[in-house]
Structure 1
């Protein structure tokens, strides 16, 4: 009996290894560079990372300071420089602005936007949201005397982290970092999605970035897209679907 169980486990391990090798052989990109959004850090990708690694991708989660667009782009470009190319560059929320600017790097072969902003050249995140009704979650932003924004605990619970467990929401509230208010007002000087294949996850129940904006961006970028009935943190509520689109972008 023990021998039978051992053989079965070995067989399953061999099958899993074969699947990983098969997927890796189909990938044109070698590394997924993941760029978090405002009020977050690289751990916001923790559910997606193992799925990408199991598919054969190397993964780098950037830790951006979220103090300025220039600073975040510089951090992201260093990650791209150190990564094995080609790279699929992924951004969530504010990270979409960052990858729009940083994605012009020659090592970047495709872009993935996850419930993210995708401004055009000369536009800022504020510019592209101005013609849409303000989402409810924006009322929960709190600015301190130094110009840094945070989200209230109620805002995290109801809007930013909608769809997660109470324990997950509490962790997000505790670890959130400040996001300087000048950053979303800064326009991008390049729009990489004009020149690189783009993929977009539209979160249809997002209360931070208008879903209508996300859908319009799909049209503007002629992006390959999926829609998930998710709030803002789609990579945490629908990690399998998000990972599948990233893998598709890497193929």
Structure 2
């Protein structure tokens, strides 16, 4: 199934996860099991306690839709977590906050809010007062301070490689990443074939998603976790580290592209499970 260099990469990935699992505790005194190099359907350790009664609401970022979580969702469902992936319109930050808030209102019981990329700005601005939100998980995501926009955050750091390739999409007033450059700047750590398909199925995103300033951040009131992508070419990894530290998040770092839910679903599921443990 894997070519020689792919098998080598897979083996290194398996070894790295096994080593990390030995040092990390979540959901019980046990840790992630060793990933099986012989199977493309590597599973998390089935001995961890059930997540029954805990919800996970997944919020996608710009240029993608809820299907970007498709590799993560089954891993969470295997633990009995109730998972919902909201389809945000990407027409404005407020529109996306409204859609996510409605999705949240449909869930009863403790809920973990998870935001990838721009989705972090959305979950930061959710009104968590008198809500069932028990934790926030940021996956290579924006975590703005009050009065801060996505653009202002980006301006504090050198431009990412992807920034040179943002441009008008086929909808007026919407942008995307030039499909020719998408594989190398958004998700360079999956097969070229898969990356090219994702490039042309991008969801155009309105500029009105990036310009508004943040209100009172939810992370000031709710425990948070952050997964940094050290090989990110869309958001500067140093920006992610800065935000993770500023919000006081429990932080992990992985050698991933920006699109870690696609390229590293096991590590993404792992940190969500860690947050779910604390929701009990």
The Cα shift of 1:157 comes to 1.3
- 1:39-95 Cα deviation digits (max 9, x unpaired): 100000011001100111010000001110000000001110112321000000000
State which of 161, 166, 190 in structure 2 corresponds to 1:164: 190
CA contact (8 A) 1:29 1:109 kept: no
Q: Which stretch shifts more, 137-146 or 189-198?
A: 137-146
Structure 2 residue 242 is matched with structure 1 residue 216: yes
Other-structure match for 1:8: none
How many Å separate the matches in 1 of 2:102 and 2:250?
27
Structure 1 residue 116 corresponds to structure 2 residue 155: no
SS at match of 1:150: strand
Q: Paired residues, what number? A: 232
Q: 2:200 corresponds to which residue?
A: 174
Larger helix proportion, structure 1 or 2?
1
User: 1:60-139 counterparts in 2 under 5 A?
Assistant: 60-102=84-126, 104-105=128-129, 106-139=131-164
Answer 1 or 2: higher relative contact order, Cα 8 Å, separation at least 6: 1
How far is the alpha carbon of 1:141 from its aligned partner? 0.9
Moved over 3 A (4+): none
Q: CA RMSD in A?
A: 1.8
Relative to the length of structure 2, the TM-score reads 0.79
Once the two structures are superposed, residues 13-50 of structure 1 have per-residue CA deviations (whole angstroms, 9 ceiling, x without a partner) of xxx9x947x522xx486110000000100000011001
In structure 2, the residue corresponding to 1:51 is in which secondary structure? helix
Counterpart mapping for 1:14-93 below 5 A = 19=46, 23-24=49-50, 27=51, 30-93=54-117
Contact 2:52 2:81 in 1 (8 A): no
Shift in CA distance, 240/64, structure 1 to aligned 2, threshold 3 Å: same
Q: 1: CA distance between counterparts of 2:85 and 2:208?
A: 24
Out of 254, 272, 276, which is 1:228 matched to? 254
Structure 2: gaps of 5 or more residues: 1-42
Bigger Rg, which one = 1
Unaligned runs of 5+ in 1: 1-15
Q: Quick one: distance in 1 between partners of 2:127 and 2:111?
A: 10
CA distance in 2 between counterparts of 1:19 and 1:243 reads: 13
**2:172 aligns to what?**
146
* Superposed CA offset, 1:132-165 (max 9, x none): 0000111111125722101112221110121111
1:244 equivalent in structure 2: 270
CA-CA distance at 1:174 after TM superposition: 2.2
Contact 1:33 1:88 in 2 (8 A): yes
- The answer to whether the Cα contact below 8 Å between 2:53 and 2:82 also exists between their aligned partners in 1 is no
Cα separation, partners in 2 of 1:29 and 1:119, compared to 1, 3 Å: farther
Specify whether residues 108 and 141 from structure 1 end up closer, same or farther in structure 2 by C-alpha distance, changes over 3 A only. Answer: same
